[in-house]
Amino acid sequence: MADIAIIGHAQSPSWRMADLTEPQFLFPVISEAIASANINRRDIGFTCAGSCDYLSGQTFAFVMNLEAVGAWPPITESHVEMDGAWALYEAWVRLQVGDIDTALVFGSGKSSPGNPSEVYPLQLDPYTLTPLGVDPVSMAALQARALLDAGLVTEQEMAQVAARSRRDAMNNPYAQVSGEFDPEKLLAEPYVTMPLRKHDLPPISDGACAVILATADKAREVCERPVWIRGIDHRIEAHQPGMRDLTQSSSTRLAGERAGVGNAPIDVAELCVSFSHEESVLRRALGLGDEVKINPSGGPLAGNPIMAVGLARIAEAARQVSDFGAHRAVAHASSGQALQQNLVCVLEGD
């Protein structure tokens, strides 16, 4: 496989009830990503977007986002109805073909106009699960319960993950929820849906993220500190939660193996920990020991712009390599509920 690097990226803050439209807040994110990559917009060989109609409550919602890209004169672009991390995967594949040298990837979404407990049941099997009205917090709660019962995590550990994430997020200008929280006080709060409390849940966020990829020659030409994608893979599991061992994430483990996580020591990981208990599952699935710093950005617990949040993990991991001296980082994105589908990406500096 050809070496592909991340040469630039940008994010919007995560907000609740943003008063800008999605194309309006996407607009500067894409422009900043391009500027940060030190390339011309018209040199971009391929653009790929990630977004979801149901989040927006509008069929063909992604069409308007094209206005933030600079699609006149015409461009070569595509779209996945998935998190921008999968748009990055499509762009990575496209760059492997060898005829173009840069790609623009972005993910965006407004989660706040809709009600998650109305929208997310539609993401489940329409015959057996949607009619039950299982909301996404309850689905996550099932996984948390399995982990607690298996002795793989404790409520204290979950509260500690939440507190640590929001403390680290104080250094993240894009974060929506940050601050010093005392795990003991958090544990005194009532459950929202047993065994999950408010601190275990991600915020509801609107936001966008854009990343610029380049082939090796182009990266060397324009970028002082390219961040190399050493491996990238994604896998999905069976859909029915009753058919999976919710205490493991076999697809994350498999994707991690294929991406080569275990080939060398990892310094830092940006994982799509949307619910605090997921950190335990993902650490184990990826074989990340205690020495690995998880989510210095705060992760989704600090800002959860669905459709951009997975791509933002890749951008944040890249930032750790290019700006904070990490040599080797892992980024993870997830799709579906209770970690059904997972993407893992290994990044390295020179």
Per-residue binder mask for other proteins (CB under 8 A), 58-77, x = binder: xxx-xxx-xxxxxxxxxxxx
Instruction: Find the part of the chain contacting other proteins (CB under 8 A) among 139-147, 148-156, 243-251, 318-326.
Output: 243-251
106 near other proteins, judged by CB under 8 A:
no
Type of residue numbered 223:
C
Q: Are 314 and 333 a contacting pair, CB within 8 Å? A: yes
Query: What are φ and ψ of residue 241, in 5° steps?
Result: -60, -25
Using CB under 8 A, pick the residue from 7, 29, 44, 86 that binds other proteins. Answer: 86
194 near other proteins, judged by CB under 8 A:
no
Measured from the CB atom, is 172 or 251 closer to other proteins? 251
Per-residue binder mask for other proteins (CB under 8 A), 311-350, x = binder: ------------------------xxx--xx---------
Measured from the CB atom, is 153 or 281 closer to other proteins? 281
Q: Give the shortest CB-311-to-other proteins separation in angstroms.
A: 15
116 near other proteins, judged by CB under 8 A:
no
Residues present in the chain in total: 350
Contacts for 127 with CB less than 8 Å, ≥ 6 apart: none
Instruction: Find the part of the chain contacting other proteins (CB under 8 A) among 49-57, 267-275, 280-288, 296-304.
Output: 49-57
Q: 5 vs 221, 313, 316, 324, CA distance in Å?
A: 12, 15, 14, 17
Separation between Cα atoms, residue 298 and residue 162, nearest integer Å: 9
Instruction: Find the part of the chain contacting other proteins (CB under 8 A) among 160-168, 187-195, 232-240, 268-276.
Output: 232-240
String of DSSP letters for 25-56: HHHHHHHHHHHHHT--GGG--EEEEE--HHHH
